Amino acid sequence: MTLNLVQTLSDLVAIPSVNPMGLPAAGPEFFEYRVTDYLEALFKGLGLPYQRQPVEPKRENIIARLDGAVSANEGGELILFEAHQDTVPVTGMTIEPWTPVVRDGRLFGRGSCDIKGGMAAMLAAVARLADERPRGMPTILMACTVNEEHGFTGATALSKLWGQSSSIFPRKPDAAVVAEPTSLNVVVAHKGVVRWRCRTHGRAGHSSQPHLADNAIYKMAPVLAALEHYQREIAPGCGSHPRCGSPTLSVGTISGGLSVNTVPASCTIEIDRRVLPGEDPKAARDHVVGFLNSDSRTHAGVEHEPPLMVALGLSDAHNGPLGDRLLAVARGALGRGEKIGVPFGTDAGVYSAAGVPSVVFGPGSIDQAHTADEWLPLEELEQASEVLYQFGRAKR
C-alpha cells in the first residue's frame, strides 16, 4: 500500500487535534482521538499489528510494528519512529486552520509544520518499507503520541510501555528518531524546560481609597524587573552548551485583579526557564527562586507554586553514532545536512532519559511552527520521507 504524501498530510491537517494547553477544552476540536482513529484505520490498511495506549480521556498513543528481517528478540535492531498527534490552539490564525490548501509549493494549515508533516513523512516511509520488506531491515515501531505540546505525557507513558510483557514493544528500542521541524538537519541536542507560577498577595479595596488596600500588581513589578535582570545578566552565566547556547528565562503570562475600580488582592505570572542538556530542571528553578529571595524588594509576600512542567533536555553525549548514521543517509539523499542543537524541547528528551539514543529530524522550519499561517514546504516533505525510508531500509 503506497501512501500519497500530500493527501496523507491533508487528511491529518483536516482532523482537528488541538491541545487545550491547560485552558478549558470546550469544543469538538480538542484532543487527539480523531487522529488516533484515522491512524488505526491506516495501520489496519497496511496490515500492521498495532496497539492503542490510553494516556488521558480522549487521548491515546497508538503504535504500529513493522517486523524486520531478524526478530528484535533474536538480535535484530529495533528502531522507534515517533511523531506527536497534537497541535497548538488556533486563536489568531489568518487562514482556515483545518482546510488544507496547497499553494506555491506549500501546504497551509494548523499542524502542517508541527508536526503532521513529519508524521506523514514517517507514515509514508513505513508504508514503503512494509510493501517492499527489504533484506536487512530492522524492526520499526511507528508511534504517534499525545500531549507533546503541554507536558510530554504521551512520550512518558510510551517509555513505560516497553517494560510491559503484553505490549507491542518486544523490548526497549535501540534508537529513536523523533519528528519535529528541523529543516532536514539532524538535531542531536536540545534544551529542556521547567515552568511554574509565581504569585504576589495583597489586600483588596476600593480604588477610590487605594491607601487602605495593598496592591498585589505593584508588588509584582519588582519581581518582573528582577526576572528581566536575571534573563539578561544571570542566566548567561549559568553554563553553556556548544550546540544549544546558554539557559534562558521568560515570563509568558500575567494576570491579576477583578475590575479597574478594585485594588487587586493577587497577581500571578508564569515563568519559563529553559535548561541545558544535562542541567537539572529542579535545580534551575531553585536558582531562580533563590535569586528572588535574596532581594529584599522581591521576597516578601511572593509565593512560588510547584512546577507546571518539567522536561529534560536532549544530550548529545550518547547519540553520536545514531546522529552520524542518519546524517550520512540525509547527505547521501539530499547532498546536505548538519548535526545541530536547538533551543526548543521535544519528546526525544524523554526517550533519551529512558536510555534510548535519540535524535530529531523532520521537514519544515521551527520558524513556521505555531504561526498564524502555518505551512510546510512540500519539497521537504518528500525529501524527509525519502531519508527516513532509506534510513529504515539500510543494512546494519
Residue 396: pLDDT band (50, 70, 90) is low
Cα 116 to Cα 39, 98, 337, distances in angstroms:
12, 12, 21
Considering the chain, what percentage of its residues have pLDDT values greater than 90? 91
Instruction: Give me the helices (H) in 197-319, please.
Output: 216-229, 281-293
CA 344 to chain centre: 8
Residue 388 C-alpha cell reads as 527516513
* Helix/strand/coil for 319: coil
Rounded to two decimals, the pTM is: 0.94
Is the pLDDT reported for residue 72 higher than 90?
no
Report which DSSP code applies to 307: P
pLDDT by residue (tens digit) across 255-287? 999 999 999 999 999 999 999 999 999 999 999
Does residue 106 surpass a pLDDT of 70?
A: yes
Sign of CA dihedral 376, 190, 248, 354: positive
Average confidence (pLDDT) over 227-242: 96
Buried b (16+ CB within 10 A) or exposed e, 141-165: bbbbbbbbbbbbbbbbbbbebbeee
Q: CA-to-CA distance for 44 and 1, rounded, in angstroms?
A: 11
Domains of the chain: 5-190+313-393 (3.40.630.10), 192-311 (3.30.70.360)
For residue 395, the model assigns a pLDDT of 63
Q: Sort 191 into a burial class: Cβ within 10 Å, 0-12 / 13-18 / 19+.
A: buried
C-alpha of 108 from chain center: 20
Cα-based torsion angle of the residue sequence 335, 339, 344, 346 in order, rounded to the nearest 10 degrees: 90
**pLDDT on residue 299:** 66
Q: What is the pLDDT of residues 135-192, one digit of tens each?
A: 889 999 999 999 999 989 999 999 999 988 889 999 999 999 999 999 999 999 999 9
Cα gap 136→79, rounded to integer Å: 13
Asked whether residue 363 carries a pLDDT value surpassing 70, the answer given is yes
If you average pLDDT over every residue of the chain, what do you get? Answer: 95
Q: What is the pLDDT of residue 385?
A: 98
Which position has the higher pLDDT, 81 or 302? 81
Q: Is the pLDDT of residue 18 over 80?
A: yes
Q: Is the peptide bond before 115 cis (omega within 30 degrees of 0)?
A: yes
* pLDDT tens digits along 337-358: 999 999 999 999 999 999 999 9
In the prediction, which pLDDT does 35 show? 98
> C-alpha grid cell for residue 332?
547521501
Residue with cell 531519508: 387
pLDDT digits (tens, 9 = 90+) for 297-339: 776 679 999 999 999 999 999 999 999 999 999 999 999 999 9
Show the cell assigned to 355: 536510555
Integer CA distances (angstroms), 376 to 6, 11, 81, 158, in order: 11, 14, 20, 27
pLDDT at 307: 96
Of 22-36, 84-98, 139-153, the one with minimum mean pLDDT is 22-36
